[in-house]
Structure 1
Amino acid sequence: MISFLIPWIIVFVNILIAIPFLTLLERKVIGYIQSRKGPNKVSYLGLLQPVADGGKLLFKELGTPHYANIILFWFSPIVSLLLMILGWSLFPSYYTNYFFSLGVVLFLCIASLQVYTLLGSGWGSNSKYALLGSIRGAAQTISYEVSLIFIIFLPCCLGGSYLFFDYLYKDYWYILILAPAAVIWFISAIAETNRAPFDFAEGESELVSGFNIEYSAFEFACLFLSEYGNILLMSFLTGILFFPAGWGGYIIMGIIFTFSFLWVRAALPRFRYDLLMSLAWKIFLPVSLFYIYMVILI
């Protein structure tokens, strides 16, 4: 029993350590790109800023809207965090002593469940702003999830496996075949995680802060950890699926794509919502269908 729990504990601890410093890196990167200062007051170069922010979130008073659906309001953020950790547990690791043979399929199931936590967070708040933000975010996530599903099956078709461990040592000709699909995948991953320039669920003024407007303290921390954990998850998943580089290269590519998420947020203006949906259904979906058809023929 203990040997089974150790990999989960290690994954959870690593994520809790990585996410706060990812937020610090994001603030520093955006500060440099936009020629302004990032966090620099809390300790040396602001290194303890994530610790201060986390402590503030944990020790703030918990509040619940008067007419909220208590079950949905409280459990949706926690389930979202648990789903993110469950997705990370599927990845190949030095600490993992088991490998799930249908890991890619299980990952898709976990990713599809995240939509329900987003809807539950907005609906459970019993707030019009939160509900509108959750509906818009769910529509965006579902739209780009379709393209992601087709694209993730491309390496599965070429490798003949659903086990993540098998993708660590791919042939280098995979890059030539999968490079265009990797571009579509990365753009779809940005939209899937509701990140800028596709952060419509919480970025538009009429939605205030989107589905998380009523959350604070521990519940907001769960949503926050889930969002940034999914950014890391999609980044490292991109590295392991599309680039044949082994253990070290998979980690390096994950870091590069994580930095790309931050760079895109700092450099690009927000997209229009109708253009975002048009991009998903009129361009990405037909291209990904054609792509997978051509790979199957090969």
Structure 2
Amino acid sequence: MSLLEAALRAASVLAAFLVLPLLVGQAEHKVMAHMQGRLGPMYAGGFHGWAQLVADGVKFVQKEDITPRAADRWVFRLAPAVALIPYLLAMATIPIHPGVAAVDVPGSLVLVLAATSVGALGTLMAGWASANKYALLGGLRAAAQLVSYELPIVLALASIAMAGGSLSLMALTQAWSPWWLLWQLPGGLVFLVAACAELQRPPFDMPVADAELVMGAWTEYTGLRFAFFLLAEYAGIVVMSLLFAVLWLGGWHGPFEGTLGWLWTLLKGFGVAVLVIWVRVAWPRLREDQLQRLAWLWLVPIALAQLLLTGAGVVMGW
């Protein structure tokens, strides 16, 4: 790969990283509003409030950046970057078209798992470093949630890797067949639920829980640092939605497979992102005991059963 090609790929991933989360955020504003029978943002930018997130970004830039006196200054300031940057790395490995991925490595599935796990550490760092009891409680809740829901995600992805015989996202998408929609459906449902929990999205937003913990681990953050946490959340939705689209829905496989496969991948990913938004609107926040019960009594056993079924299918040559 030439230096120019590498630079173009890096620029493309950076542009997608800046644009796609904003599109998901704008869709959340409007989709949630219509689901709840209201208009949502209507004025910023003119046409249906299309520039609302741009206006929010300008507002965050204008706000003062405050670091609490008792905070662990370096950890406090580094936490938003730790929460945001790993999703950039994860997005770079997701293929959107045959042979088209910014970073195509043999173990890209493992790389995505590692990157998304590191992203969750930003919330833990923020909770510990803020010197605030509400932030600390939010960080502790995030730690418990990470331990509980990382395992179902790993098991669901292990089933897909076993079915496709590879740890490469590109190879797994190329090996996909419509039969996977039925065969791997339980693992896909486990992945979706666990991904919402790992992203701390409602109804799994106990680490934030504004009615109980102000804003959880983000309580002491202002200005751009707070905006980075919000951007990390939307970037996480993009990464998890595209990952589900390429592994369970076939990515570029479909009517536009020949020339517009990348568009088919993005449309599938956007559909999954809308489903994640719909879950936020439709379900109330769980209690902490309900959260743990769902993970250990339902998701983990279902994921293990899916892994057993996949192993039997591979051995029998299904």
Pair 1:217-2:223 in alignment: yes
1:92 to 80, 87, 95: 95
Q: Where is the helix percentage greater, Structure 1 or Structure 2?
A: 1
- Check whether the contact 1:63–1:216 (CA below 8 A) recurs between aligned residues: yes
Match for residue 189 of structure 2?
183
2:161 to 156, 164, 175: 156
Pair 1:273-2:288 in alignment: yes
2:78 to 66, 75, 78: 75
Instruction: Say how many residue pairs are matched.
Output: 298
String of CA shifts for 1:146-176, please: whole Å, max 9, x gaps.
Answer: 0100000111101111111123331221112
String of CA shifts for 1:110-156, please: whole Å, max 9, x gaps.
Answer: 12212322111111111111111011012112211101000001111
Against the structure 1 CA distance between its residues 256 and 93, is the aligned structure 2 distance closer, same or farther, given a 3 Å change threshold? closer
Match for residue 139 of structure 1?
144
Pair 1:106-2:111 in alignment: yes
2:301 maps to a residue whose letter is P
1:171 to 157, 177, 180: 177
1:252 maps to a residue whose letter is L
Match for residue 65 of structure 2?
62
Give the C-alpha shift of residue 290 in structure 1.
2.1
Q: How many angstroms apart in 2 are the aligned matches of 1:21 and 1:183?
A: 24
- Check whether the contact 2:138–2:216 (CA below 8 A) recurs between aligned residues: yes
- Check whether the contact 2:186–2:306 (CA below 8 A) recurs between aligned residues: no
Against the structure 1 CA distance between its residues 245 and 119, is the aligned structure 2 distance closer, same or farther, given a 3 Å change threshold? closer
Runs of 4+ in structure 1 off by over 3 angstroms are: 93-98
Give the C-alpha shift of residue 204 in structure 1.
4.8
Match for residue 238 of structure 1?
244
- Check whether the contact 2:66–2:222 (CA below 8 A) recurs between aligned residues: yes
- Aligned CA RMSD, in angstroms, stands at 1.6
**Identity over aligned pairs, percent:** 31
Against the structure 1 CA distance between its residues 290 and 93, is the aligned structure 2 distance closer, same or farther, given a 3 Å change threshold? closer
Pair 1:251-2:266 in alignment: yes
String of CA shifts for 1:209-239, please: whole Å, max 9, x gaps.
Answer: 1100111111112111111100111011011
Give the C-alpha shift of residue 266 in structure 1.
1.3
String of CA shifts for 1:43-82, please: whole Å, max 9, x gaps.
Answer: 2211111111011112221111011111110111112211
Give the C-alpha shift of residue 93 in structure 1.
4.2
Pair 1:8-2:10 in alignment: yes
Against the structure 1 CA distance between its residues 20 and 171, is the aligned structure 2 distance closer, same or farther, given a 3 Å change threshold? closer
Pair 1:47-2:50 in alignment: yes
Give the C-alpha shift of residue 97 in structure 1.
5.6
Q: How many angstroms apart in 2 are the aligned matches of 1:111 and 1:212?
A: 19
- Aligned to 1:89, the other structure's residue is in SS state helix
- Check whether the contact 1:199–1:270 (CA below 8 A) recurs between aligned residues: yes
Q: How many angstroms apart in 2 are the aligned matches of 1:204 and 1:98?
A: 38
Against the structure 1 CA distance between its residues 119 and 60, is the aligned structure 2 distance closer, same or farther, given a 3 Å change threshold? same
Pair 1:297-2:312 in alignment: yes
Give the C-alpha shift of residue 242 in structure 1.
0.8
Give the C-alpha shift of residue 2 in structure 1.
4.2
Q: How many angstroms apart in 2 are the aligned matches of 1:235 and 1:98?
A: 18
- Check whether the contact 1:197–1:269 (CA below 8 A) recurs between aligned residues: yes
- Check whether the contact 1:182–1:242 (CA below 8 A) recurs between aligned residues: yes
Q: How many angstroms apart in 2 are the aligned matches of 1:3 and 1:80?
A: 28
Instruction: Name structure 1 gaps, 5 residues minimum.
Output: none
2:206 maps to a residue whose letter is F
- Check whether the contact 1:141–1:194 (CA below 8 A) recurs between aligned residues: no
Give the C-alpha shift of residue 200 in structure 1.
0.8
